[in-house]
Structure 1
Amino acid sequence: MNSQPWLTNYPPMIPAQLDYPKIALTEFLTQAAKQYPDHRAIQFLGKIITYRELLSDAQHFAGALQQKGIQKGDRVAIMLPNCPQAVISYYGILMLGAVVVQVNPLYKERELAHQLGDSGAKFIVCLDLLYPIVKKTQVQTSLQHVIVTGIQDYLPFPKSWVFPVIQRLKGKIKKIEPDDFSFKNLLVSASPCVSPASIDPSEDLALLQYTGGTTGVAKGVMLTHRNLVANVIQCRAWFYKAEQGKENFLAVIPFFHVYGMTVAMNLSICFAGCLITLPRFEIPSILKTIQKQKPTVFPGAPTMYIALLQHPELSNYDISSIEACLSGSAALPLEIQEKFEQVTGGRLVEGYGLTECSPVTHANPLWDQRKNGSIGLPWPDTDAKVVDLESGEALPPGGVGELIVKGPQVMKGYWNEPDETEAVLRDGWLYTGDLAYMDEDGFFFIVDRKKDLIIASGFNIYPREVEEVLFEHPAIAEAAVVGVADDYRGETVKAFLVLKEGETVSEEQLDQFCRKRLAAFKVPKQYEFRAELPKSSIGKVLKKLLIEG
């Protein structure tokens, strides 16, 4: 049996093997600034930043951190939406050989405290609107200083003057405490770091990207410079029609999500493209931006494409500049793919990946043969197979088992979690926990998820975390959280509850309770009260029966 049948179906322009230079990830930015210094690197709400300016700002930020005591190997967190500061701080941190810890800006205090505490982050760069929650969390962690920035810091005049005035009138911006710093002032006062740290790409970490797992507790995925460089080069090979220095990337998929970080931010900089960056997913703004700025590449999640197609004003805008879209984070419905391609004239294909793989391992070819419902072919230098759940032996085409993958983009392991690492990394193979099959042509299809992971609008939600919050409510005796089908979000969160005897609670009260303790995307959208939950003979809740009704 041919163990890699996908190679016979590779597009002629994509080699099965690629060269991966032994470089730090920051070299992409250095080379782009050297070759295209005056090209647009970032377009942000009317503000243009060239590659020369972006490199200079990243060097000044690295210099500022260096002067404040940050050294190679230290962890520095970023808690920002998509904005220039997110890119500047990311590359500045890496220049020092420090490790980026990406934090979702939607996180609540308990979630933030775990991530900062586990990573041991010394500094965090956060939005001014998030400063209060960061300060509440600081006493629970080893966080030393907070670097505060605002959207207004990179807005053109007069927006840069009007925006903070409005925010202050609303009482949203708090005064920075003496031990903390202004991002803008740091850049102005710091000397640039023009000699980046010496990096061993295969060993030195670039990123701690937090994800959940079988335990439901968020774990730090250790991604090296080599992991991230490799995945960008693989992605560049897949986008073989894209041209150096000529592409415009619509960057609405969050940079704090590993998919947005690689396929939007890092890939754009590798191409010396322009990141058309938007801090929020707001359809009217996106449609106007597409028509005016004419992006050519639009990485996203299915919910983004669905929302655009369903917007009543879509026909009033020209979005035909879009040429290539790689959809990730959830299954891409065929009707959405076909309609989006009809409207744009471009190509939209489904891919697959995991945080542990930087993240992409598979995708359908953009301009060649693809298969409906498939996650596509393994990427160059990426091996994949489906193995029997009991024996671990490779299954023939059509056999359903666990998908395992191997390649240069696969993580080093979980941060301070050797047992968890050993459970999923065996002889270089990453066990994904997803049930899949491969057809005769080497196209892979996801059948189901081995874990209870819920993916809603591209966000990973771990039921145990939600259940633990529900159990904190004094009226709840039992709680089981599952993902149920949702036309828009892909999946949504549903909680099955048993109340303590004599207790009552409304759905609205539970919603308010959860929103104080969980990011909004994790809060259950549906509640169902039951007298009891179905259980096995050993007392385990049978979630499959709950889902089946």
Structure 2
Amino acid sequence: MDPTHLRVALTQDMQVGAGNVLLRLAEHGADPDMPRVSFDRDVDGIPAWTPLSLTELTERAAARAHWFSERGVGRRDPVAVYVTSAADVFLNYFALTWLGAIPALLNGSMPIEVAAEFIRRLRGVGVLTDADHAELAKHDLGVPILGDASETGGGDPRLAPPHYRHHPEDPVAITHSSGTTRTPAAIVHSHHGLFAAVRAVRLTEARPYGEVRELSALPAAHTAGIITMNQALCNGYQLLCLSAQGGEFRHSGEAILDAIERWRPTGVFGFAVTWSELARFDLSTRDLSSVRNWSSTGDCAHESHIRRLVAVGSHLTYRRGEGTVSVQGSKFIDTLGSTEMGHSAFAMIHRLGSDRYDRCVGKPYPFAEVALLDVGTGAEVGPGQVGHLGLKSPTLALGYWNDSVNTFRTRLNGYYLTGDLLYRDEEGYYYHVDRASDALDLGGGDWLYTALSEERILKQCADVRDCSVIAVRESDGRVVTQVLLVLAADADPELDREADVRTALGAPVAATLQRVVTIPDDGVVMGPTGKVRKFLMRQQLLAGSGAS
């Protein structure tokens, strides 16, 4: 089928969802042989970087479906998948949804002991692991380890059971939160919910000119990883999925840049931490000319990182007498989302010369109904006032697995409370200032917003690559703040930057400043998805100050 007609057919097909994309593509007559997805690791004897067609993806998924079915896995059975390779994540995800089971995808960077507790709370039927996570077998999980991911491709695709036919609200995946404040929460997504943004936006937006090649540096086990895979498959784009580099995000920037130069993508997907890692390098020395779009989700990105990226890459423009030509400068698509939201609710586009920053996340997508709420009264706040973000959206997760208390606690007036604090301006643009758990009331109408403070410090201090603002309220009620700076490679480590930091913070927040510390790249405590674990760092600050 013609790709344009296929996109229309998929948009109108209310049976297609996150649990059956491979099946419905085949049933709609999608080209079975065109290159689709490449992985950076060998899989089932297929060398890394080899593009797999729809036929090959389906066969590899069917082999795994047979393997799981032989071990008794079936409809509604939660199975934990704790692996490193993106190929192992996606092919086993396809296999388990084939059976109507519920893959519970764990980020491979999650510490073993945390993963063991997560799996115990899951109360599923089994666990799939790999050589990187063999130590998991030493823990009491409450369920058996079904096998190693390297074995699952040994099933017989001809003996796979018939593909399960999903209902729109069937659970198709359990992913987890970043775990910045506690053990990562298990979040369950529905067949239609996890596909809703693909249907509403990704299949209806204008198809880019020419060949589309997308590189995903997102964790494969994250909702964003699943959505990126499904939107690429449905649009007929080529996709390269990178696996976790060394089991963590740090120092992955060079691997991403190497992959861009080798694979020549037109688009790159990542989290805010991805762009921070790329900022470690002089991007002008790398060949990034193929990249037209950088797409970010999770936390919104920092202006200092965005400006570096839009200055490289390329975009197409029309010139009289020359026609369509490629010129320097790319586009950065910034969004704000979370695992529970299922997909970002806002989008903001930056280009060379654009100047709407200050943590602006843009305007809501048409499918998202948002409100900024006073959580005390449930009333909406007006323009310029900071409120808690409430969301109504078809993309929302069903709730927290085995945790109805927190599922209902996060609802107010029919909205899901994301935990984010934002304000909107008179033009309808929204600005993210902080997570509610990190903000502190200083009294007199003044607030300390850590994320907004970090944005301002990075703008003020050009030789600072990244920073974290850690603030606590001590037992006597006094707020104490520490600023942790990660310097650019060519920065002077002996330079005193406290005056610049105080200027960036503004007088009310600067009055709480205890110290400014330069730290190494690994001095920030991060969760498995690359988010800073400020909760733990606040505990360290309290312990260090002697506060109770």
| TM-score (norm: length of structure 2) | 0.70
Is the CA contact (8 Å cut-off) linking 1:81 and 1:254 kept in structure 2? Answer: no
What is the CA-CA distance between 1:278 and the residue it aligns to? Answer: 2.2
Q: Distance in 2 between matches of 1:418 and 1:383?
A: 23
Which digits, 9 at most, give the CA deviation of each residue in 1:230-257, with x for residues without a partner?
A: 032345158534379x421112211112
Aligned residues: 433
Q: Distance in 2 between matches of 1:411 and 1:148?
A: 27
Q: Distance in 1 between matches of 2:146 and 2:159?
A: 20
Look up the equivalent residue of 2:261 and give its one-letter code.
Q
Distance change >3 Å, CA 28–CA 488, structure 1 → 2 = farther
Could you tell me which residue of structure 2 aligns to residue 290 of structure 1?
Answer: 260
What is the CA-CA distance between 1:97 and the residue it aligns to? Answer: 0.9
* 1:254 maps to 2:219: yes
Could you tell me which residue of structure 2 aligns to residue 496 of structure 1?
Answer: none
Q: Distance in 1 between matches of 2:288 and 2:144?
A: 44
Superposition pairs for residues 149-298 of structure 1, below 5 Å?
A: 149=150, 182-184=151-153, 186-187=154-155, 189=156, 191-193=158-160, 195-202=162-169, 204-211=170-177, 216-236=182-202, 240-242=206-208, 246-262=211-227, 264-279=228-243, 280=245, 282-298=252-268
* 1:68 maps to 2:32: no
Q: Distance in 1 between matches of 2:258 and 2:37?
A: 17
Q: Distance in 2 between matches of 1:450 and 1:134?
A: 34
Could you tell me which residue of structure 2 aligns to residue 306 of structure 1?
Answer: 276
Which digits, 9 at most, give the CA deviation of each residue in 1:269-288, with x for residues without a partner?
A: 22222221222263444333
Which digits, 9 at most, give the CA deviation of each residue in 1:446-496, with x for residues without a partner?
A: 12221249999xxxx9x9xxxxxxxxxxxxxxxx9999555589xxxxxxx
Aligned sequence identity (%): 21
Could you tell me which residue of structure 1 aligns to residue 546 of structure 2?
Answer: 532
Q: Distance in 2 between matches of 1:274 and 1:525?
A: 43
Q: Distance in 1 between matches of 2:404 and 2:24?
A: 37
Is the CA contact (8 Å cut-off) linking 2:347 and 2:362 kept in structure 1? Answer: yes
Secondary structure at the residue paired with 1:357?
coil
* 1:40 maps to 2:35: yes
**Match among 404, 408, 433 for residue 447 of structure 1:** 433
Is the CA contact (8 Å cut-off) linking 2:178 and 2:529 kept in structure 1? Answer: no
**Match among 31, 47, 52 for residue 49 of structure 1:** 52
Q: Distance in 2 between matches of 1:487 and 1:379?
A: 34
Q: Distance in 1 between matches of 2:482 and 2:89?
A: 31
Secondary structure at the residue paired with 1:354?
coil
Q: Distance in 1 between matches of 2:270 and 2:36?
A: 20
Is the CA contact (8 Å cut-off) linking 2:131 and 2:148 kept in structure 1? Answer: no
Look up the equivalent residue of 2:336 and give its one-letter code.
Y
Superposition pairs for residues 393-404 of structure 1, below 5 Å?
A: 393-404=379-390
Q: Distance in 1 between matches of 2:482 and 2:31?
A: 46
Which digits, 9 at most, give the CA deviation of each residue in 1:285-313, with x for residues without a partner?
A: 4333222321112111233223334324x
Distance change >3 Å, CA 96–CA 486, structure 1 → 2 = farther
What is the CA-CA distance between 1:195 and the residue it aligns to? Answer: 2.2
Q: Distance in 1 between matches of 2:531 and 2:336?
A: 25
Q: Distance in 1 between matches of 2:138 and 2:346?
A: 41
Superposition pairs for residues 122-521 of structure 1, below 5 Å?
A: 122-131=125-134, 133-137=135-139, 139-149=140-150, 182-184=151-153, 186-187=154-155, 189=156, 191-193=158-160, 195-202=162-169, 204-211=170-177, 216-236=182-202, 240-242=206-208, 246-262=211-227, 264-279=228-243, 280=245, 282-312=252-282, 314-345=283-314, 346-365=330-349, 371-372=356-357, 373-452=359-438, 486-487=485-486
Distance change >3 Å, CA 241–CA 87, structure 1 → 2 = same
Q: Identify which range, 87-96 or 106-115, moves more after superposition.
A: 106-115
- Structure 2 residues without counterparts, runs of 5 or longer: 1-10, 41-47, 315-329, 440-449, 455-467, 471-478, 489-518
Q: Distance in 1 between matches of 2:220 and 2:292?
A: 21
Distance change >3 Å, CA 213–CA 304, structure 1 → 2 = closer
Which digits, 9 at most, give the CA deviation of each residue in 1:391-411, with x for residues without a partner?
A: 111122212111101010112
Which digits, 9 at most, give the CA deviation of each residue in 1:13-59, with x for residues without a partner?
A: xxxxx867233324322344541222222223333322210011112
Q: Distance in 2 between matches of 1:220 and 1:20?
A: 29
Could you tell me which residue of structure 1 aligns to residue 442 of structure 2?
Answer: none
Distance change >3 Å, CA 238–CA 356, structure 1 → 2 = farther
Look up the equivalent residue of 1:256 and give its one-letter code.
A
- Between 1 and 2, higher relative CO (CA 8 Å, sep ≥ 6) is seen in 1
Distance change >3 Å, CA 106–CA 222, structure 1 → 2 = same
Could you tell me which residue of structure 2 aligns to residue 537 of structure 1?
Answer: none
